[in-house]
Structure 1
């Protein structure tokens, strides 16, 4: 199982690394167009910022076990976020993705689950679109006011972290507030940038993006209305961000399984060694005892 996971994780890792630049650049482009829409006082449904009363949590887990604490870490993150929302007096709903999450929430009727969604063998845009369609319908119908992705971010083959990622609305300020104007974003919310600092991967929040973003000049004129461009790009944004989360989660799961099976192999080798030593000691003691009995019998015959 370690070898199988190691063979698969390379492909998954390449998909994660190759998909990050497109997803991040698309977000920056959307920010610039969204700012232009705000200057012209144009509203786009998926960028509408309204007081938050209900939050949708898209929880992405794996389909299989034997991967250490991978699934438990995500589920614990979801439970903690639910408690935070309850303490803020906000309603929530969970969109569960993955067999492990589906089984976990299926055994807990107290958790409000909107939909259970299965996982594909390898993440693809078709699978991401199913989730995006559900999120889109809930947000546009105003059944929910904020969408958060909870998944495991792939950092390296030996490290992965469960994170919370704000998906909707696409806010220029990067924060969502409740009816009292209090920010409800999680303290560890990843909003939207993965970068490097001192040779290590790190996440920067939205204000860091806005300081360095200069994709469009204010003097540019759009051939189509910015709202039309934004409407056309938002479905692509949803699909790309969800697909990225699925890819990150899948790569993290394979890396966790590879490490778990490696640890299991090492533990089995160590156990075999200890049992062999114990067996040899008992065998030697028995042989020594038999030799002593023979010697004692020979002495008695003399």
Structure 2
């Protein structure tokens, strides 16, 4: 019983720590979406204008796919329910699909849990292991973007896909796959009905007040009458590194927010289970204690009766 109570204190503390961090991570993930979405819309519009022209934009070149690189984003720690397992299963399923199409596949693993997973599987080709930070930064995203850029430009791979966990709400996250390169108008990051929350203290206990917000749909679009002072090719070449960095940073932020939310829910469930287990153990303990006391009383009564019968 004392061990369960000690465990409950630990899980409750971990729940509070995750709850304190997830608010900041959630804001970073959701607030970064409008910029990345607008950037995608601008790039798509400029790329469509360049289609009739004979220009060469390497990062938008769609070529026959022989090898695919998967950037798999996992967490750095456990105790977060099925968060890491879900994204790793998603990546495994994608590898199986590519294998059926007779396509080669390599992995860029981001996060300690993913790194340890792929280190135990030498049959999977891993190009790079990236250790995550406590909070996603542009520097970390730039390092991954440089590797992806180099692999695609040198035609080491013909397609790059992001496998990460999309943050939906405090109680829901979804592993997704997004095409990173070549630039495709089918990609999208709109997320309607995102959920914000505020921590409150009611009756001395942690409580969560949820508030749903609606994402603005549709892109900004560019007027067909708009003229560029610079060559559109130069504009795309200047924006593509920013595009790679922003998309990877957004995936890291979404994954980090999902990890914290999963950990908060897992620790909350663990705390509730500890409370229930303590109650059950108390019932069993009291029953055993009562049975022992009853047995001792019966022995005393039997002894007293025996003394009365003595001459």
Q: Which residue of 2 aligns with 1:295?
A: 301
Quick one: distance in 1 between partners of 2:42 and 2:305?
A: 97
Which blocks of at least 5 consecutive residues in structure 1 are unaligned?
Answer: 175-190, 204-208
Q: Which residue of 1 aligns with 2:246?
A: 240
Question: Bigger radius of gyration, 1 or 2?
Answer: 2
Other structure's SS at 1:195 match: coil
Native 8 Å contact 1:55 1:92 kept in 2: yes
Quick one: distance in 2 between partners of 1:145 and 1:290?
A: 80
Which blocks of at least 5 consecutive residues in structure 2 are unaligned?
Answer: 1-13, 196-211
Deviations 1:230-255 (A, max 9, x none): 00000000000000000000001111
After the TM superposition, list the runs of 4 or more consecutive aligned residues in structure 1 that deviate by more than 3 angstroms. Answer: 197-203
Superposed, which structure 2 residues align to 1:116-265 within 5 Å?
116-172=129-185, 174=186, 191-196=187-192, 213=219, 215-265=221-271
Native 8 Å contact 1:194 1:202 kept in 2: no
Quick one: distance in 1 between partners of 2:72 and 2:184?
A: 21
Q: Which residue of 1 aligns with 2:101?
A: 88
Match 2:292 to one of 262, 286, 292? 286
How many residue pairs get matched? 278
Quick one: distance in 1 between partners of 2:66 and 2:145?
A: 21
Change (3 A) 1:39 1:202: farther
TM-score when normalising by structure 2: 0.86
Deviations 1:261-283 (A, max 9, x none): 11111111111111111000000
Native 8 Å contact 1:95 1:116 kept in 2: yes
Native 8 Å contact 1:194 1:201 kept in 2: no
Match 1:5 to one of 18, 30, 35? 18
Native 8 Å contact 2:33 2:189 kept in 1: no
Native 8 Å contact 1:139 1:146 kept in 2: yes
Native 8 Å contact 2:105 2:125 kept in 1: yes
TM-score when normalising by structure 1: 0.88
